[in-house]
A = this chain, B = another copy of it.
Amino acid sequence: MADAEVIAVGSELLTPQKLDTNSLYLTDQLNALGVEVVRKTVVGDERERLTDSILGALARSQILVLTGGLGPTEDDLTRDAVASALGRTLVFQQDICDQIEERFRKFQRKMVEINRRQAYIVEGAEVLGNDRGTAPGQWITHNNAVLMLLPGPPNELKAMFEKQCLPRLAKLLPAQVIHSLMLRVVGMPESDLDQLISPVYMRYPNLATTILAVSGEIHIHLRARSADAKQAEALVAEVASQIEPLIGDRIYSRNGDSLEQVVGNLLRARGAHLSVAESATAGLLGGRITAVQGSSDYFLGGFITYTNALKTKLLGVPEAMLAEHGAVSEPVAKAMAEGARDRTGAEYALSITGYADGDEAGLVYMGLATPRGSEARRTQFPGGRERVRAFSTNIALDILRRHLLATDTHG
């Protein structure tokens, strides 16, 4: 079994503000290949310490992932440090330089001289193309070890790792199959969920179970590893069949789809459309729904009514209702959703009105207007402004998901 180390490069990662989060993604990916991450290091933009860290890691582990330090500036030293640790030279590659220049041209900009630095490759390295940025990655084999040099920005790193490192690693590592399943759950706290399902998964020490709270949702990862694909799959199925009935319809996805994707697919299947009316979240719900490519199939638009005056003017919420019940109330949530539905022509509309801070922070009402009337739900979230707003969009989407599931596709 191969061990891996991750070295995150960048002085900003040694400040009191920044954490290396790329290593979490890399650990997850490597674990899925049966590789354990045995050490993580963060080192600054300093040639000697970086070289020293690389040498140390190579002395211990077979897989070394370096993230960051591939940019065009003077303090991007990963290329140099790796070359120096391996006793190899850096080689300028004109074709890479041309590609970087081409990328600049495409965006109507001129490549500046320092970007040439990114065209230097450690002697003998395979180049890992970067379709999301200018910094190419590098794949280097050295004695019995392999080094991956990946860019720091998470979106560039993830695309490169998945498209180019995973296939190479799969060839390198002993044939092992990992079968995994992710259940995504909304609407219950992590500790409650764990108490519910731990009696099941504790009985299966040969299956890795991870429970992860992610901005108000929970992801349950079940992962079995075996030389025999059927065996791995059967073990995951056995455990899932016991866990799923305990959580029921709070599981919204079994295939990795996000809540907004699931809701979008339900709407699309029904040929239905959605609009929104947002107060406390002021656009976050619309922004999240449209994070899905193709969301214009079902999402029309909506209203951001941060003031009471706009709730009345744009959505027709009666002034008297606002005066009597307050903007954060069940009748106003319903009236907002109804107003958005009427004014956009969508079959469904969601609304959110609540307090993100202040004395009543966390009190939020979500409304849903449908062809058959409207409803509203009251919730009280823990946590600060950002958390309350993010969690509110979860619950709003979940209300619509449950409503759509309860109504027939043809209804």
User: Which chain B residues lie closer than 8 Å to A20 at the CB level?
Assistant: 19
A221→B114 contact, CB < 8 A: no
User: Which chain B residues lie closer than 8 Å to A362 at the CB level?
Assistant: 107
B301→A113 contact, CB < 8 A: no
B293→A287 contact, CB < 8 A: no
What is the bound-complex CA distance between A21 and B302, given in angstroms?
35
Residue of A56, A189, A362, A387 with most partner-chain B CB within 10 A? A189
Q: Is A27 an interface residue (CB 8 A)?
A: yes
User: Which chain B residues lie closer than 8 Å to A305 at the CB level?
Assistant: 301
B153→A385 contact, CB < 8 A: no
Chain A 203-218: CB-based contact to B (< 8 A → 1; otherwise 0): 0000011111100000
A385→B43 contact, CB < 8 A: no
Chain A 250-262: CB-based contact to B (< 8 A → 1; otherwise 0): 0000000000000
Q: Is A73 an interface residue (CB 8 A)?
A: yes
A73→B194 contact, CB < 8 A: yes
Q: Is A322 an interface residue (CB 8 A)?
A: no
A38→B46 contact, CB < 8 A: yes
Within 8 A of B (CB), among A1-27: 10-17, 19-21, 24-25, 27
User: Which chain B residues lie closer than 8 Å to A39 at the CB level?
Assistant: 14, 41-44, 49, 53
A210→B15 contact, CB < 8 A: yes
The answer to whether A195 and B304 touch (CB under 8 A), given A27-B15, A49-B38, is no
Q: Is A93 an interface residue (CB 8 A)?
A: no
Residue of A15, A46, A134, A300 with most partner-chain B CB within 10 A? A15
What's the nearest-Cβ distance from chain B to residue A333, in Å? Answer: 16
What is the bound-complex CA distance between A114 and B24, given in angstroms?
32
